[in-house]
């Protein structure tokens, strides 16, 4: 910051306290020619300012603002009542869509793994499904039949996975 900038600020403070421009620049004769026009410009812009806001302007705009706020409140109440059913509905639709996608993917996967043999990439999927089927079969007789059916496959006998 230059000395002149600080001097300008000091002079402005003095003028604010009631000193005249001439009285102030006399304190800094070396900078008087530079300071004087700046201080005159400052006084001009200071006089440009409005001190009193007309009360009619204040009242008019207060009423307008409160009216605008009331409209916004009304709009918000309408949006809130609409969202009471819209938001849950939207969530249900999204959830069902995801589930349908997962189900369809899973079904396709199971179908694709049905004809796999040991060594194929999807063979573990087939084995897992078979194990799940055995697990969820509550009836012991049906379970024995199922195990036997799953065990009577040539490739399984080789691996001895389900053999006796």
Q: Footprint of another protein on this chain (CB under 8 A)?
A: 1-2, 4-6, 8-9, 16-17, 37-38, 40-42, 44-46, 48-53, 57-58, 60-62, 64-66, 68-70, 72-73, 76
The 3-state secondary structure of the chain reads CCHHHHHHHHHHHHHHCCCCHHHHHCCCHHHHHHHHHHHHHHHHHHHCCCCCCCHHHHHHHHHHHHHHHHHHHHHHHHHHHHHHHHHHHHHHHHHHHHHHHHHHHHHHHHHHHCCCCCCCCCHHHHHHHHHHHHHHCCCHHHHHHHHHHHHCCHHHHHHCCCCC
User: 5 or 139, CB closer to another protein?
Assistant: 5
Least CB distance to another protein at residue 103 (A): 39
Task: Provide the minimum distance between the beta carbon of 11 and another protein in the complex, in angstroms, as a whole number.
Answer: 11
In angstroms, give the least distance from the CB of 89 to another protein.
24
* 44 or 140: CB nearest another protein: 44
* Minimum CB distance to another protein smaller for 76 or for 91: 76
What's the token pair of residue 115? 């004809």
Q: Which is nearer to another protein, 16 or 144 (CB)?
A: 16
State the minimum distance, in angstroms, from the CB of residue 90 to another protein.
21
Q: At what angle do helices 3-16 and 32-47 cross, to 10 degrees?
A: 50
Locate tokens 């199971």: which residue? 110
By beta-carbon proximity to another protein, the closer residue of 9 and 144 is 9
- Residue 3 CB, shortest distance to another protein, in Å, is 11
């Amino acid at each position: 910051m230059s000395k002149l900038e600080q001097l300008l600020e000091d002079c402005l403070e003095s003028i604010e306290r009631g000193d005249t421009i001439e009285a102030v620049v006399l304190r800094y004769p070396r900078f008087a020619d530079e300071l004087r026009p700046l201080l005159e410009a400052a006084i001009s812009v200071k006089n440009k300012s409005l001190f009193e806001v007309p009360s009619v302007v204040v009242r008019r705009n207060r009423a307008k603002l409160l009216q605008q706020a009331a409209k916004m409140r009304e709009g918000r109440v309408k949006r809130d009542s609409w969202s009471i059913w819209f938001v849950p509905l939207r969530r249900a639709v999204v959830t069902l869509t995801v589930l349908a996608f997962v189900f369809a993917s899973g079904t396709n996967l199971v179908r694709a793994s049905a004809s796999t043999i040991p060594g194929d990439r999807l063979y573990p999927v087939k084995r897992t499904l078979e194990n799940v089927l055995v697990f969820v079969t509550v009836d012991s007789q049906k379970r024995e039949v199922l195990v036997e059916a799953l065990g009577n496959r040539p490739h399984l006998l080789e691996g001895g996975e389900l053999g006796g």
